[in-house]
Chain A
Amino acid sequence: MEIVWLGHGNCHDCTLVGGKGANLCHLAATQRIPPAFCLTAAAFRDWLPTGGEVTALPAKLSAPLATAYRHLGDLCGVAELAVAVRSSAVDEDGQTVSFAGQHSTYLNVTGVAAVAKAVQHCWASAHATHALAYRQHHGLAIGDIPMAVLVQQMIPADVSAVVFSTNPVTGQQDEVVINASLGLGESLVSGAVTPDTWRVHKRDLTVVEVRLADKQIMTVPTPGGTGQRPVPRWLRTQPSLTPEQCLEVAQLAVHLERTMGWPVDLECAYRGGLLYLLQCRPITALQVVP
């Protein structure tokens, strides 16, 4: 089975769709998650004999991929849908080890050819030295790394947020921490921008602390990809989230922690006033404070 749809069939099988996909699948029915399909670990194994080169897709993959991409466009009502192509390693986003940032994400990909290329780049990065080094360090199998790839409707975020349902620095379990900034989440995740930070008390959802930053960079969709732009001068020190949005995000984190049964590290985005969940994984490297 090369392609699995989020919210359908075996999408919760981590060995097929990787940690990222499985986590989202669990939540697909109840959360606002952009529609997506997954190229499974099986598809990766079909591709491996090409020697890890980015060329034309093997025949048994190209037709299903094209069909799936078209269907995704139909679901979203857009002919050539802009998608995010993300790696989802089979042991990624597990409980103790997070591969956050170690594999690839391609944003604002349009057209089947570009999607096929992006998928192959994700697979190729599974061989990349830094990913192997990370696995070596954490004592994981160095053999071929099963890799799934998530192809998801891209949300051109007005505001992106990274949310922890417990404080990842202090380990405090009664606090939600929200980092937010304008544009796509890439500048947040890469550390290119210093975001606004909210600390929210979990029990009554009151804001413990707000620290507004001088947000200088935002990532925006550009033709064929993304680009970094300066945040317009007068928006740099404006809060990226309204108090209502801060509350909504904190509530989401609390709810998901309860649902998943573990503290969550979320990536989400606002577009047109609606909150979308993009990623949900366990917080790793936690110092648990009783």
Chain B
Amino acid sequence: MSSLALVGPETATVPATTPIPLPADFPVTWAEPEDAQCLWLRQRMHFPEPMKPLDEWLLRTEFEGAQRAAQLYDLPITSAGRRFNTYAYAHITPMPLSPAAWTAQGASAQEKLGAAMGRLHERWEGEFLPEIQQILAGWAAFDLSAATMPALVEHLDAVIIARERLWDIHFLVWFPAYTAISLFEELYCELFGGEDVASTSSAPATSSAQATGVEQVSVPSVGQAFDAYRLLQGFDNKTIETTHALWDLSRRALMLPTVCQALAAKSTAAVLSTLEQNVEGRAFLADLRAYLDEYGQRGDKWVISVPSWIEDPTSVLKNLKDYITQPDRDLKAEMAELATTRERRLIGLRQRLQDYPQPVVAHFEFLLKAAQEGCVLTEDHGFWIDFRGWYPIRRLFLELGHRFTTAKVLEKPADLFYLTLDEVRTIANALANGLPSGTRHLLVAGRQAETEYYRGLQPPPAIGALPVTPPPVDPVSQAINKFFGAPPPPQREPDILRGAGGSPGIVRGPARVIRTLAEATKLQPGDILVAETTAPPWTPLFATAAAVVTDTGGILSHCAIVAREYAIPAVVGVGIATDTIVDGQLLEVDGAAGIVRMLTAG
């Protein structure tokens, strides 16, 4: 039986499901009757806030990309993302296949995924990244403000198609990268955990002809998982590069007293205007702008309706301010230490593996390489696709918003985000053909009100239906579960919050509850960052925060992986952290145990 799909439905018919009762204040109309049979989980990790209508296009196309990539790997899953009552939900559902079909497809998926794992870096550098960069270069070359409306419409249609390809690539990378990391952790715990029989104890290797059956191997601890991940750390990636470049900027600032003074100003506008006032400041500003051009094509999280760092560098300036309060720290040396530790441990492990069966050693080396390459790609794919692939689209929509405002369809450009993509295309086509396009002021107002209404609601964690049969335990599902995390464990004690271990270490500090990057200005060095989720644009904060606590995510979430690279403790998937903890509350974070102790009252 294929080891990629060990558990499957017993019959070829659609498996039985139990409908999840909907809360009275959360009505749902299913577009297709089959949708009601899927388990839709709230996508709080990527989209914690109510989504604007245009952002739904992003959500839909992302999960469509996941499904297409799954098909290419013969992974027997379907996937979709939808906005329900302004909140993002998505399902990843195993296909209803007969056991024979399941086995056959699982074997094929194992082969394809395995082949992809063996070439992660090679394929990224040689095929995917060049293709991505070509698409982005084409987008960058298009002069938005000078384009005629028909040309804009054509460009919009081309962008829609090209974005689909970008998200195919996103998941063509995601599946093998995360599955390799998850499989490597599993293999590590299997090979280096377990019960050993001492050779000269009273228990010899084989003392009886009677079969003892399969002996239980000890259950791996989370500590062992972290040991496995230590072998993947210390490689450069685009997220770390983003932080290091900012760190370098801060070292330069430290040598320029007028720049440090300017950075101390309260508002972003004040900082920038002060820097304009002298030669040193202007030179620094040029460096800052260069930094933003390269690394600033990103915003708070994953929606296009938030401003980029280029448009509003407040969070970048905030990080610079914090970095210059650490003049003696060598961030790069700290990261280099991770690489040294990794290699030292590997020498020891390879020695232990010397006498293991050769096929096992070869398999270890295969998964190690794949997981190391995969770890880099967990951040690099986001840099290029999630964010570099985001900013030109935002600019396009802002340009369309500007045109629509001129044509009196909207009151202001940002209102465009309250339209759906279809509505945008309809209006744009009308304008391009000189046809009447009407106005959408009332529609936008209504949608704004809807978004604000649902902001005050507690959305259900899941809608649709629960499957009756248990979900499969194949490696891809396990990787997905480690990425999104399990639901938080029951909270038993009044002053303890429990989640999953994300990065080991124990630290105490004052909490700072931060929901948006704009709020992050209140984070002080030594604070414990408490958030619903931390997207890659948040990770420069990890050089300031003493620890991180998030409501969402698992041991392979961005937050956990990057926290390990910064060697700060992290507890993820707590669920109620931002609702329970208050600013200033003294916390103790135990990253290995996944526990947050509230040492003072809220």
Contacts and interface: CB of A to CB of B under 8 A. Distances in A.
A227 interface: yes
B191 to A, nearest CB: 6
Contacts of A121: 200, 202, 204
B213 to A, nearest CB: 7
A109 interface: yes
A192 B196 contact: no
Contact of A220 (B186, B213, B357): B357
Nearest to B358: A158
Interface in B183-217: 183, 186-187, 190-191, 194-202, 204-215, 217
A159 interface: yes
Contacts of A128: 207
B525 to A, nearest CB: 44
Interface string A86-118: 000000000000001110111111000010011
Contacts of B110: 234
A110 to B, nearest CB: 8
Interface in A178-192: 182-183, 186, 189-192
B199 A236 contact: no
B200 A230 contact: no
A216 interface: yes
Contact of B363 (A102, A108, A234): A234
B475 interface: yes
A218 B357 contact: yes
Nearest to B217: A230
Nearest to A115: B200
Contacts of B352: 222-223
Contacts of A118: 199-200
Contact of A156 (B2, B195, B211, B355): B355
Given A190-B211, A218-B357, A225-B197, A232 B204 contact: no
A231 B209 CA distance: 23
Contacts of B199: 106-109, 114, 118, 224-226
B195 A186 contact: no
B215 A217 contact: yes
A82 B355 CA distance: 10
A230 B196 CA distance: 12
A243 to B, nearest CB: 16
Contact of A192 (B201, B214, B363): B214
A156 B186 CA distance: 23
Nearest to B211: A191
A220 B191 CA distance: 9
A234 B200 contact: no
Contacts of B359: 158-159, 182, 235, 238
A210 B482 CA distance: 38
A234 B114 contact: yes
A121 B114 CA distance: 46
B3 interface: yes
Contacts of B357: 156-159, 182-183, 218, 220
Task: Choose among A100, A105, A236 the residue with the greatest number of B CB atoms under 10 Å from its CB.
Answer: A105
Interface in A202-255: 214, 216-238
A117 B213 CA distance: 28
Contacts of B1: 214, 237
Contacts of B205: 104-107, 186, 219, 225-226
B196 A156 contact: no
B356 interface: yes
Task: Choose among B194, B209, B213, B352 the residue with the greatest number of A CB atoms under 10 Å from its CB.
Answer: B209
A191 B190 CA distance: 20
A104 B200 contact: no
B360 interface: yes
A105 B208 contact: no
Interface residues of B, number: 43
Contacts of B195: 227-228
A130 interface: yes
A191 B210 CA distance: 8
A10 interface: no
Nearest to B475: A233
A130 B208 contact: yes
A117 B201 CA distance: 9
Nearest to A231: B360
A77 interface: no
B356 A228 contact: no
A192 B355 contact: no
A261 interface: no
A100 B209 contact: yes
Contact of A234 (B3, B206, B207): B3
Interface in B201-257: 201-202, 204-215, 217
Contact of B214 (A117, A158, A216, A235): A216
Nearest to B2: A237
B356 A156 contact: yes
B211 A218 contact: no
A143 interface: no
A290 interface: no
Contacts of A219: 205
Contact of B3 (A158, A159, A229, A233): A233
A102 B209 contact: yes
Contact of B356 (A125, A186, A193, A220): A220
A272 interface: yes
A191 B212 contact: yes
Nearest to B187: A232
Contact of A225 (B191, B196, B202): B196
A183 B191 CA distance: 12
Contacts of B211: 190-192
Given A125-B204, A221-B355, A227 B194 contact: yes
B162 to A, nearest CB: 36
Nearest to A119: B200
Interface in B526-583: none
B80 to A, nearest CB: 29
A227 B197 contact: yes
A214 B357 CA distance: 17
Nearest to B190: A230
A131 B532 CA distance: 65
B443 to A, nearest CB: 53
Nearest to A110: B199
B475 A104 contact: no
A104 B202 CA distance: 11
B200 A226 contact: no
B434 to A, nearest CB: 62
B196 A227 contact: yes
B360 A218 contact: yes
Nearest to B360: A232
B178 to A, nearest CB: 16
Nearest to B356: A220
B200 A109 contact: yes
Contacts of B208: 101-102, 130, 190
B360 A182 contact: yes
B543 to A, nearest CB: 37
Contacts of A189: 206
A233 B183 contact: yes
Nearest to A191: B211
B472 to A, nearest CB: 14
Contacts of A193: 214
Nearest to B183: A233
Contact of A232 (B206, B210, B363): B363
A182 B191 CA distance: 13
B231 to A, nearest CB: 16
A229 to B, nearest CB: 5
Nearest to B204: A104
10 contacts: A104-B206, A118-B199, A121-B204, A219-B205, A224-B198, A225-B198, A225-B199, A229-B194, A235-B360, A235-B363
Given A101-B209, A233-B183, 8 more contacts: A104-B205, A158-B358, A190-B212, A192-B211, A193-B214, A230-B190, A231-B360, A233-B187
Interface of A: 82, 100-102, 104-109, 114, 117-118, 121, 125, 128, 130, 156-159, 182-183, 186, 189-193, 214, 216-238, 271-272
